[in-house]
Amino acid sequence: MHWQTTRFSIDLARPQVMGIVNVTPDSFSDGGRYSSTRAALAHCEQLLAEGADILDLGGESSRPGSPPVPLDEELARVLPVLRDAVKLGVPISVDTSKPQVMRAALAEGADIVNDIWALRQPGAMDAVAAHRSCGVCLMHMHGEPRTMQSLPMQGDAVPQVLSFLQDRSAALLALGVEPARIVWDAGIGFGKTVEQNFALLARQSELLTGGYPLLAAWSRKSSLGTVTGLPVGERLVPSIAAALLAVERGARIVRVHDVRQTAAALKVRAATIFEAQQPGNGNPP
């Protein structure tokens, strides 16, 4: 299975680590440590050295209660970083919901559009469909960032998320977008209760029936804090545990803050799989 993007056909046989680069002053997890262009680029290089396969640049916080960022401000945050990031030799994703930012980022060579709104903003779907080959990650979100956690979705989240992502994908296909360009994200923490989030992990195989690769984004999420009692800065271990569980259940990309530790954990998993497949270890030669 491959994910077709602007410059890369990403082989998903090995789980891919997507490193998060928040070019924002108000991120819930890093408090704006990388909001300057220089700091963000240095962080990009650090994440690559730690084992990131993909970099995800975001200029607008999507934490619960966050206000929207004006278009000009988001462009000013993202584009200077993007122009140098595309020279680093790895796929670059831009985390945005604004069609104007999508077009500008794709014009600068971005490989992937990662949209928490699943291209529901006016013009967003056309911006992606007009591009010849960019990848796109469609995420499920109930409500919108300012109110999503005060008014979470009701009922069984799994079939609702599956139906939503199927509908959004079908709309893209109708515009001529190839299926190989599309990845799904269940939207952990976006308008869902703690129980619903963990149901999406426990029953992740039901989402695989849609036929698209899954991206899992559990890193430092509040649901992990709820079940462990740990503050955001101390959620490394539960974040890695959730990433590994997601990969075991079929996720092909994990979007994380802690790249070095997650990549190391995935190498341990890969070693056990390799060893189990060797002749003499319970499998025929």
pLDDT in tens, 34-45: 557 888 999 999
Q: Which pLDDT band holds residue 220 (cuts at 50, 70, 90)?
A: very high
- Contacts of residue 231, Cβ cutoff 8 Å, sequence gap at least 6: 225
Active site annotation includes 98: no
Residues 100-123 pLDDT 10s: 999 999 999 999 999 999 999 999
Active site annotation includes 221: yes
Nearest to 140 by CA among 113, 160, 125, 154: 160
- Contacts of residue 271, Cβ cutoff 8 Å, sequence gap at least 6: none
pLDDT at 242 over 60: yes
Q: With contact defined as beta carbons under 8 Å apart, do 261 and 240 qualify?
A: yes
Which residue spans within the chain are E strands per DSSP?
A: 2-4, 9-11, 16-22, 54-58, 92-95, 112-115, 135-139, 182-185, 214-216, 253-256
- Identify the active-site residue in 77, 103, 192, 221: 221
Euclidean distance between CA atoms 212 and 37, whole angstroms:
34
Q: For the chain, what percent of residues have pLDDT higher than 70?
A: 93
Euclidean distance between CA atoms 19 and 95, whole angstroms:
12
The pTM (predicted TM-score) of the whole model is: 0.92
Structural domains for the chain: 2-276 (3.20.20.20)
Residues 145-160 pLDDT 10s: 888 888 899 999 999 9
